[in-house]
Structure 1
Amino acid sequence: MAESPVEPEETLAEVLARFEYELPEEQIELLDAYRRELWAWNEKMNLTRHTTLEKFVTRDVGDSLELANLLDEGERVLDVGSGGGVPGVILAIARPDLKVSLCESVAKKAQALDQMVTTLGLNVKVYPARAEDLLEATTFDTLVARAVAPMRKLLYWLAPRWDAFDRLLLIKGRNWVAERGEARHHGLLKPLELRKAAEYVTRGADAVSVILKIEPKQDD
């Protein structure tokens, strides 16, 4: 059963300000519209566990803005396993210069995403497909992912498709070192270079997150 949202006592603008996130007013309005759409769809299917404004800001917006800092202007970005649209939809709102696409293999979730971005008026393409299938015919600069699968599984799925994108940015929690070890054990990192692109503490909590940059090794 999807979790019911808690009726906000503060506005989104107030919660963003409380956690010291500064965004233009029009972006805050779009984020709030997205949040309402996401929570409404969450009553019908399980799209998010973050059904308070504080969690939406500190987890979803916070992670997405950290990721946005690592993307170059105009990049073609694919959100792999987008689910309810994080981080892809928030990236499209916070960085309208990006060419953001969402990939979601569960058909009903992809339909919900498509209706959400249409309602919000965002120029975001939604692909109802698995990323590894989509990448057979479509190319991107950067793939991004959060809470999709363990690193080992994700790298296994993407292993044949590195000619279709330049790098993968993964948002991971404190277990990322163990996930890296598992991926190495299975030989999945041998042709790749993994670096920690960012490390940050979730605002309002003591949880440490990282953004990992994974890309093919360059020939010497």
Structure 2
Amino acid sequence: MNSIVPDSSTTAAIELLNKSLHRHKVGLADEHAAKLAEYCDLLWEWNAQLNLTRHTDFEQFVTRDLIDSLRLASHIPEEQSVLDVGAGGGVPGVVLAITRPDLNVSMAESVGKKAKALKDICRKLRLSVPVHAARAEDVLKKHHYDVLTLRAVAPLRKILFWFQRHTTAFGSILAIKGPRWVAERDEADKEGLLAGVDLDVIDEYPTPGHDNNSVILSIRYQRPVA
């Protein structure tokens, strides 16, 4: 596949990314910025065939995908094993693997075509990131992770329902949510899904161009569900 950035060299792509990083005061190591520019190029190539992302320029990538991913990364201790659930186009999974090489990142994507694209992207980026073409619940039957990450996957009631019987297979869940998270929490509570669950807002931050803040929720189960 050819690059979708018209008449743009790798250096030019990195410069475009760096301009957006500077504009929004996002600090990144040079090698990470270069790898992220390469990732965006590959992602947008695949996006011409599959619906992997709505963010198809560096400005959108920085203000939405990257800021979310970096805020999430700041709450994951060093050397942790991470499963990105419903990885889609690789946010935050691929971004975590690039910007936090100390982490042991894996991704779960149940849509076969998307999983194939993610495997190709990781191979071309030279990232050692396992991609499971399966539902996360099935992956957790065979593997244990310190942290599960979720972004734009499902409402809280579904997340809590999915993982309530796999609580011994992971330590905690970190979920990126928008302003509707309060309504989602109330819905989950009405269905009794918050019983035995510690749910906390561990971060709240603005995203450029949006009036409402995003939050990062930490979800920990107090005990396995019988």
Residue by residue over 1:23-74, the C-alpha shift from the partner in whole angstroms, topping out at 9 and shown as x without a partner, is 1111000000000000000000100001121110010000000000000000
Moved over 2 A (4+): 5-10, 203-207
Partner SS for 1:71: coil
TM normalised by structure 1 equals: 0.94
1:123 aligns with 2:121: no
Partner SS for 1:190: coil
Residues paired across the two proteins, number = 214
2:18 aligned residue: 13
TM normalised by structure 2 equals: 0.91
| Distance in 2 (alpha carbons) for counterparts of 1:187 and 1:122 | 40
1:58 aligns with 2:55: no
What runs of 5+ residues in structure 2 fail to find an aligned partner? Answer: none
| Distance in 1 (alpha carbons) for counterparts of 2:146 and 2:79 | 10
Residue by residue over 1:69-101, the C-alpha shift from the partner in whole angstroms, topping out at 9 and shown as x without a partner, is 000000000000000000010011110000000
Are the equivalent residues in 1 in contact too, given 2:82–2:106 (CA < 8 A)? yes
2:81 aligned residue: 76
2:72 aligned residue: 67
Are the equivalent residues in 2 in contact too, given 1:19–1:204 (CA < 8 A)? no
1:195 aligned residue: 200
Output the amino acid matched with 1:88.
Answer: G
1:101 aligned residue: 106
Query: Could you tell me how far 1:217 is from its partner in structure 2?
Result: 2.4
Q: From the superposition, tell whether residues 6 and 181 of structure 1 become closer, same or farther in structure 2 (CA, over 3 Å).
A: farther
1:111 aligns with 2:116: yes
What is the aligned-residue RMSD (CA, Å)? 1.5
1:85 aligned residue: 90
Partner SS for 1:206: coil
What runs of 5+ residues in structure 1 fail to find an aligned partner? Answer: none
> Identity of paired residues, percent?
50
Are the equivalent residues in 1 in contact too, given 2:5–2:41 (CA < 8 A)? no
1:134 aligned residue: 139
Are the equivalent residues in 2 in contact too, given 1:144–1:168 (CA < 8 A)? yes
Are the equivalent residues in 2 in contact too, given 1:6–1:52 (CA < 8 A)? no
